[in-house]
Amino acid sequence: MKKYFVSVVLVLFSITGSMGQEFQSPNGNFKMIFTLEKDGTPTYQLFLKNKEIIKKSKLGLELQKDSKSLINDFKLVNEVRNTFDETWKTVWGEETAIRNQYNELALTLKQNDTDRLIVVRFRLFNDGLGFRYEFPQQKNLTYFVLKEERTEFAMTGDHTAFWIPGDYDTQEYDYTESKLSEIKKLFRGAVTGNASQKQFSDTGVQTSLQLKTADGIYLNIHEAALINYSCMHLNLDDTKFVFQSHLTPDAKGNKGHLQAPCVSPWRTIIASHDARDILASRMTLNLNEPCKIENTSWIKPVKYVGVWWEMITGKSSWSYTDEVPAVQLGITDYAKVKPNKTHAANTKHVKEYIDFAALHGFDAVLVEGWNEGWEDWFGKEKDYVFDFLSPYPDFDVKGIQEYAQSKGIKMIMHHETSGATRNYERHLDRAYQFMKDNGYNAVKSGYVGNILPLGEYHYSQSILNHYQYCIEKAVDYQIMVNAHEAVRPTGICRTYPNLIGNESARGTEFQAFGGSKANHTTLLPFTRLIGGPMDYTPGIFEMDIAKLNPNNNSHVNTTIGNQLGLYVIMYSPLQMAADLPEHYNQFLDAFQFIKDVPVEWTTSKYLEAEPGYYITTARKDKNSNNWFVGNSNGYQKRTSTITLDFLEKGKKYEATIYADASNADYKTNPQAYKISKQKVTNTTKLQLFTAAGGGYAISIVEVP
């Protein structure tokens, strides 16, 4: 399956002044031009089918303190061109094999006064451009501190952008659609009630940033292989429409501590005239290193239920008691406190979830709130933090594991760190060993709240190194990781596929915290999912949260048809049926799709796409000839028209269609759906109504 061809051309220079280097993507659609300006400033331009899509943009890095920055005064001393083509197998993914084809241009620059060397490496794929900075081992640049990275992305006009604010600590925002010129005006409104109380630039936005030009070109700016570096945001000059990289600072304001030899993450630009190509791009994965785990047989996609949504809605509690007990050196005597009646992670209740999972063919059960410390988890008393080993008195670790094993169900561990990263690292080996001793092979980790040590941010270099440390340490124990509140993914799951999921965006839980925009899931595949799968936790069937908790007036802004479609739209090898069993029991005919839909795929096709408005995706099951289709629709009801030409020619199938009813609406009638069956072939065309905030799901099964 794997093949590649590499050719190398080496050219040596000792020239100052302006000089241009040009190269193209393998299919010739993209062209990039590199230029050194008269003052030795490196720049690049990008063209799609001979149309400029990134204007001349500067490259460089500003160093801290007295060091001369790596911004200008360069000359080109070396050029290497490569071509590369391979097909690699995925451990899990949207397809079983991914082609990695690019042309590469590596330019070595020497700074005149300092004799420092940097390499700017460009890779042009058929779907876009990736480039990074490399710092070779050298005597004049060993240890250095970044004040800022000065990479530019110069836009060709006042594009439409789908953006969230450049918060250092959270990505849990709804997206705003606006012109670039409107971002500054709209920024404060976008952060109201959601900001992490940090300082913002009035034009700072996060990546992955999705854009659309007036003439219909879709652009996506992000980064890949974010390791041992700070997360990149983008500051906008809203008069010239130039984005400049803005790295997350540490507690002292520094943007990165580096030691040569080292590299930056890749800066990525995906572009196409067709929005579906943005969804189909695998460039972010391809810019990461191949899998470093020799034996991956223990990494298994999972469909699960869990003791979670009832706490999110306020129906139940994570904590065993409503009292805040006296805490001495992290030791709490729970025999002296009064238990409450709402603690959900108790043995009897968890066994009910295990029974439900076994009855309906799920793989696993997640339980949150099983361990001591939730009453004082922010350290209001004696800096108490979790130890990840001590269950509450009403949670029988061994008994639950034995019961789950007897039913063929795996248990998923939950580690809420409360942002105390050093504490988590101190306990990590013991916590992972505790998991292995009790039959847990997957963990959901959380980082809610300000990072401890205070002053650090969720997306600064040292905290990103913590997330990476946990992933790599988990390999030693053969544990899969699902990290919540961590940094957004950048394709690292190719290298470490035990990173089976992340949250790192506004997930379903916010539907119980006041709601999310009805078009939110038409944007996440264009933004958050560019770097890897999300544990979005779909499958909510009861939209009126007050029915679970009379004190919570939130409404889930979606329909049942939409919730079913998300199991195909929102790709993840880790899929949850997030609602309560009693709600599924009310709609068992619709619940059937959640039971049937796989979590492993061999092929993915993108049938319709317009960011912010609609997405329709088809995927083929990895273990059969069955196909599944999902649709998510925005605010405007519409008719979705698709052709099933992805089906094998000459074969017959039966399609079961789970669609919005004609009177469905995410606000007024979210539970209105209809189920129909019909025979289909690869020539069948379907026209399906999608309500405002609605969607549909289709299972397509081969028949004789």
pLDDT at 192: 67
Whether the pLDDT of residue 182 is over 80: the answer is: yes
User: Are residue 487 and residue 416 in the same domain, yes or no?
Assistant: yes
User: Are residue 302 and residue 276 in the same domain, yes or no?
Assistant: no
Chain center to CA of 196:
19
Domain-embedded: residue 608:
no
User: Are residue 139 and residue 190 in the same domain, yes or no?
Assistant: yes
Query: Per DSSP, which regions of 126-169 are E strands?
Result: 128-135, 143-149, 152-154, 160-163
Tokens of 469: 């440390």
In this prediction, residue 417 has a pLDDT band, given cuts at 50, 70 and 90, of: very high
Euclidean distance between CA atoms 676 and 678, whole angstroms: 7
Query: What is the DSSP pairing of strand 574-576 with strand 499-502?
Result: unpaired
Domain limit, last residue, from 247, 266, 286: 286
Count of H-run helices and E-run strands, the chain: 11, 37
Domain-embedded: residue 55:
yes
Put the strands of the sheet holding 627-633 in their side by side order: 601-610, 614-621, 627-633, 695-703, 652-660, 673-680
pLDDT at 15: 39
Sign for the CA dihedral angle at 515, 518, 519, 521 comes to positive
Give first-to-last CA distance, the chain, whole Å. 31
User: Are residue 161 and residue 204 in the same domain, yes or no?
Assistant: yes
Best CA proximity match to 16, nearest among 106, 134, 112: 112
Domain-embedded: residue 94:
yes
Best CA proximity match to 561, nearest among 411, 663, 440, 410: 663
pLDDT at 336: 78
User: Per-residue pLDDT tens for 618-668?
Assistant: 999 999 999 999 999 999 999 999 999 999 999 999 999 999 999 999 999
Domain-embedded: residue 376:
yes
User: Are residue 270 and residue 293 in the same domain, yes or no?
Assistant: no
User: Per-residue pLDDT tens for 538-560?
Assistant: 999 999 999 999 999 999 999 99
How many domains, the chain?
2
User: Per-residue pLDDT tens for 471-505?
Assistant: 999 999 999 999 999 999 999 999 999 999 999 99
Rounded to an integer, the average pLDDT of 54-70 is 93
Euclidean distance between CA atoms 625 and 684, whole angstroms: 17
User: Are residue 474 and residue 381 in the same domain, yes or no?
Assistant: yes
Query: What is the DSSP pairing of strand 410-416 with strand 440-446?
Result: parallel
Query: Per DSSP, which regions of 534-684 are E strands?
Result: 574-576, 601-610, 614-621, 627-633, 638-643, 652-660, 673-680
pLDDT at 333: 76
| Residue environment code for 233-244, b if the CB has 16+ CB neighbours within 10 A, otherwise e | bbbbebeebbbb
User: Are residue 473 and residue 492 in the same domain, yes or no?
Assistant: yes
User: Per-residue pLDDT tens for 345-359?
Assistant: 999 999 999 999 999
Domain limit, last residue, from 482, 504, 526: 504
Tokens of 604: 């993915």
User: Are residue 278 and residue 309 in the same domain, yes or no?
Assistant: no
User: Are residue 86 and residue 221 in the same domain, yes or no?
Assistant: yes
pLDDT at 379: 53
Q: Mind spelling out the 3-state secondary structure of 383-417? A: CCCCCCCCECCCCCHHHHHHHHHHCCCEEEEEEEC
Residue 39: CB partners within 8 Å, gap ≥ 6?
72, 73
Are 549 and 513 a contacting pair, CB within 8 Å? Answer: no
User: Are residue 48 and residue 153 in the same domain, yes or no?
Assistant: yes
- Secondary element (H or E) of residue 382: none
Euclidean distance between CA atoms 432 and 438, whole angstroms: 10
Any idea which residues carry the catalytic annotation? 509
**Coil, strand or helix: which one is 243?**
strand
Euclidean distance between CA atoms 168 and 461, whole angstroms: 11
Tokens of 148: 């800022």
pLDDT top residue among 16 and 73: 73
Rounded to an integer, the average pLDDT of 286-294 is 98
Are 489 and 508 a contacting pair, CB within 8 Å? Answer: no
Chain center to CA of 215:
29
User: Residue 473's domain is classified under what CATH number?
Assistant: 3.20.20.70
Instruction: Provide the domain limits for residue 109.
Output: 9-286
User: Are residue 140 and residue 209 in the same domain, yes or no?
Assistant: yes
Domain-embedded: residue 671:
no
Rounded to an integer, the average pLDDT of 56-63 is 98
Chain center to CA of 638:
28
Tokens of 18: 């302006």
User: Per-residue pLDDT tens for 128-177?
Assistant: 999 999 999 999 999 999 999 999 999 999 999 999 999 999 999 999 99
User: Are residue 277 and residue 407 in the same domain, yes or no?
Assistant: no
User: Residue 39's domain is classified under what CATH number?
Assistant: 2.70.98.10
Domain-embedded: residue 193:
yes
Number of neighbours of residue 338 by Cβ within 10 angstroms = 9
pLDDT at 375: 83
Whether the pLDDT of residue 219 is over 60: the answer is: yes
Rounded to an integer, the average pLDDT of 11-35 is 78
Which of 73-87, 314-328, 518-532 has the least mean pLDDT?
A: 314-328
Q: Tell me what the pLDDT averaged over the chain comes to.
A: 93
DSSP 79-126: EEEEEEEEEEE-SSSSSSEEEEEEEEEEEEEEETTT--EEEEEEEEET
Domain-embedded: residue 85:
yes
Domain limit, last residue, from 471, 504, 537: 504
Which amino acid does the sequence have at 197? Q
Are 702 and 638 a contacting pair, CB within 8 Å? Answer: no
pLDDT at 13: 41
Number of neighbours of residue 14 by Cβ within 10 angstroms = 9
Rounded to an integer, the average pLDDT of 317-343 is 76
Domain-embedded: residue 563:
no
pTM for this entry: 0.95
pLDDT top residue among 682 and 322: 682
User: Per-residue pLDDT tens for 425-454?
Assistant: 999 999 999 999 999 999 999 999 899 888
Rounded to an integer, the average pLDDT of 309-325 is 91
Euclidean distance between CA atoms 605 and 94, whole angstroms: 9
